[in-house]
Structure 1
Amino acid sequence: MLRRVLIALTLPLFLAACGADNKWASDEAVRSVRYTSNEPTSISLITVIGLVRGEGGHTALLINGSQRVIFDPAGSFAHPRAPERQDVLYGVTPEMLNVYIDYHARNLPRERYYVTVDTVQVSPEVAEAALRAAQENGAVNKAFCAVGTSNVLHKVPGFEGAPGGFSPIRMRDWFLTLPGVQSTSYRDNDPRLVHGDLLRMKDGSIEAYDR
């Protein structure tokens, strides 16, 4: 009886945690912010890592193809200049990428993380395959960021060996074995991420906004 009561009490919390965020920006919003980078086409794994214990806090994909987007599975990031459609963020200019990274690189009393960006150059065709896979994946359930990242990479030539499971660290360990990977890490207050008033502190949290 007690077990049934506990299940009844915890089930709503479990279901809430597993709910996907099905944001769907309009075609006009997505078109208006389209950004194409002059950098070589590439796929980057973004990993948020705990400063104290080294645990994986989040994983995402930066895809630089015919346009540059971030596949942010089950992510919490939101910005009016980066319209979202089922976990794909559009309008990822260099400034917006800085905002995204800085949002996750935190050194607060209860949230202490740094961010790594591991990049592999790929052909335009492979980059487009990754973009299509991210756009077709759909929104990812909360806490399933590594699973969502793996699902997308499995559909991309050369990345089919991505591990399954829930560990962003395991995903990064595998990604680092890919040929030609280049890595960069960012910490809170990194001077490379300075971008004026695009971020502000509010009640101990970090919020992205425009002035």
Structure 2
Amino acid sequence: MTIRAAVCAALLAGLSLAGCTTPSAHAPNATPQEVAAAAYRHDGPPAITLYTMINNNSEAGAHSSIMINAPSQRVIFDPAGSVRAKYLVESDDVLYGITPRIEDFYERAHARETYRVRIQRIEVPADVAERALQIVENYGAVAQTQCTVATSGVLSQLRGFEQINRTWFPKNLAEQLAEMPGVTERVVRENDADDKSVAISEFGTEQATMDSQGQSGAQTQAQVQQGQAVQ
């Protein structure tokens, strides 16, 4: 084997360990109207949160993504991600409408018996958060194996993140971010089965139930109001 071939083989092996190799269940992009309707503003300070999924058995990084809390709205950039569901509004790997419930679901869908989620959050100026939002919305859908290249590429373009270098490896990106002042960190662990689709399916069922209850409640309220009007 030539040196070049050996290097290529090592890189491909590393990418396999790095993750983002499972084909995402990519549905057609949401329409601009759906994206606009899903927009959610979080009242917390502008911030960027890096998610790093780590294999509990091999300790290899498996996926990178970021949540951006900009003044205009909060989104998750999930490049080449596999957390997709009917009730998630997504366009070109950007997930919209990131309410606290959706945020919790996203974290827990990745955390299971075989993976944990390292979560690093750093507050940023409002204009930096808006710039990050602009970059991810214009980035386009990301190819498989390139989740961390895309995530680190976005971060490296932001003011204050100039020391972030593009990398293929999730844990390397997490270590780079850990060196920045002001970063807070937590880890989410769960004992769910390895199949992530189970958590996604359960979320869909819960959402359908909530929607049904909401519609029933709205219908009941309308009936009450109608009865009061007749009286």
TM-score between the two structures when normalised by the length of structure 2: 0.72
Deviations 1:109-136 (A, max 9, x none): xxx0011110110111010011011111
Letter in 2 for 1:166: W
Pair 1:62-2:67 in alignment:
yes
Name the CA shift for 1:165/1:82 in 2 (closer, same or farther; >3 Å).
same
1:156 offset after TM fit, Å? 1.1
**Aligned partner of residue 106 in structure 1, secondary structure:** coil
Q: Which residue of 1 aligns with 2:101?
A: 95
Structure with higher strand content: 1
Match among 23, 40, 48 for residue 43 of structure 1: 48
- Rounded Cα–Cα distance in structure 2 between residues aligned with 1:87 and 1:171: 19
- Rounded Cα–Cα distance in structure 2 between residues aligned with 1:202 and 1:56: 18
Please list every run of 5 or more consecutive structure 2 residues that lacks an aligned counterpart in the other structure.
1-20, 209-231
Q: Which residue of 2 aligns with 1:120?
A: 122
Deviations 1:42-81 (A, max 9, x none): 0110110111221111100010002000000010111233
TM-score between the two structures when normalised by the length of structure 1: 0.79
Name the CA shift for 1:175/1:23 in 2 (closer, same or farther; >3 Å).
farther
For residues 1-211 of structure 1, the aligned pairs below 5 Å read 23-65=28-70, 66-107=72-113, 112-188=114-190, 205-207=198-200, 208-209=203-204, 210-211=207-208
Name the CA shift for 1:75/1:120 in 2 (closer, same or farther; >3 Å).
same
Find runs of 4+ consecutive structure 1 residues off by over 4 angstroms: 17-23, 200-205
Name the CA shift for 1:202/1:48 in 2 (closer, same or farther; >3 Å).
closer
- Rounded Cα–Cα distance in structure 2 between residues aligned with 1:79 and 1:161: 35
Please list every run of 5 or more consecutive structure 1 residues that lacks an aligned counterpart in the other structure.
1-16, 191-199
- Rounded Cα–Cα distance in structure 1 between residues aligned with 2:169 and 2:28: 25
**Aligned partner of residue 43 in structure 1, secondary structure:** strand
8 Å CA contact 2:22–2:82 kept in 1: the answer is no
8 Å CA contact 1:18–1:141 kept in 2: the answer is no
8 Å CA contact 1:23–1:87 kept in 2: the answer is no
Structure with higher helix content: 2
Structure with greater Cα Rg: 2
CA-atom RMSD in angstroms:
2.5
Paired positions, count? 182
